Amino acid sequence: MKVIIYFFLVVFSLGLYAQDTSTIVEEIQHYQAELNAEFANPDTTILEKDDFESFKQLQFYPIDLTYYVQAKLVRTPNEKPFFMPTTTDRLPEYVKYGELHFKIDSLDLVLDVFQNTTPKEEYKNNLFLPFTDWTSGDGSYGGGRYIDVLIPEVDSLYIDFNKAYNPYCAYNKNYSCPIPPKQNDLPIRVEAGVKDFLKVK
């Protein structure tokens, strides 16, 4: 009897894991579809004219849940606000909200995560995660990529690098984009998320 119960528990747990995995993949696919739709829509696109006219879809790395990781959030409440450098003279004010500690392929990694000091109401619970890695300039945009995360109620959250996106200035020189700080340069190749954008020449 114990063997039978154990068997069903294992099957049940594997079923839940498969279901959760499937849900995560579907969310990533939905995110990619929404991003493509935004770029393909003349009312919402940020592409320059020539790029928009030839646009078909963004290029993404294959979805890989190796890059969907749980991170421990270490809050740093006594940080002082600072002006984050951008690709222009614009200097938006951010404050370091905390550190995200996580593993990829058994490697211990840390990223600083930031909060805008004057966010719009709909973004007041958002955190900004800019980063570079060994694909920056070699598959992904050389200036790094961003991930948006929500402030959790607990001391952990999930980072989904499959949802890493390019700053607007990767597509259009008229935009001003925050530059990922040096401490957020990951010593690995993050082959997940959106790839570099090849502009029309």
**Cα 146 to the center of its chain, rounded Å:** 5
Determine the pLDDT at residue 201: 67
What sign results for the dihedral spanned by CA atoms 16, 19, 25, 28? Answer: negative
Average pLDDT of the residues in 19-38: 93
pLDDT one-digit tens code per residue, 43-70? 999 999 999 999 999 999 999 999 999 9
CA distances from 153 to 110, 125, 150, 156, 173 (A): 20, 11, 9, 8, 38
CA distances from 178 to 43, 90, 131, 144 (A): 24, 9, 10, 10
Kindly tell me if the per-residue pLDDT of 162 is higher than 80: yes
On whether residue 84 sits in a domain, the answer given is: yes
Give the domain extent around 120. Answer: 47-184
**H or E element at residue 147:** strand 145-150
On whether residue 70 sits in a domain, the answer given is: yes
Q: Among 11-25, 62-76, 161-175, 181-195, where is mean pLDDT lowest? A: 11-25
Average pLDDT of the residues in 170-188: 97
Q: How confident is the model at residue 200 (pLDDT cuts 50, 70, 90)?
A: confident
On whether residue 74 sits in a domain, the answer given is: yes
Mean pLDDT of the chain, nearest integer: 91
On whether residue 200 sits in a domain, the answer given is: no
Q: How confident is the model at residue 18 (pLDDT cuts 50, 70, 90)?
A: very low
pTM: predicted TM-score of the whole model, two decimal places: 0.89
Instruction: Please tell me the distance from the alpha carbon of residue 197 to that of residue 58, in angstroms, as a whole number.
Output: 7
On whether residue 160 sits in a domain, the answer given is: yes
On whether residue 21 sits in a domain, the answer given is: no
On whether residue 172 sits in a domain, the answer given is: yes
On whether residue 4 sits in a domain, the answer given is: no
Quote the number of domains for the chain: 1
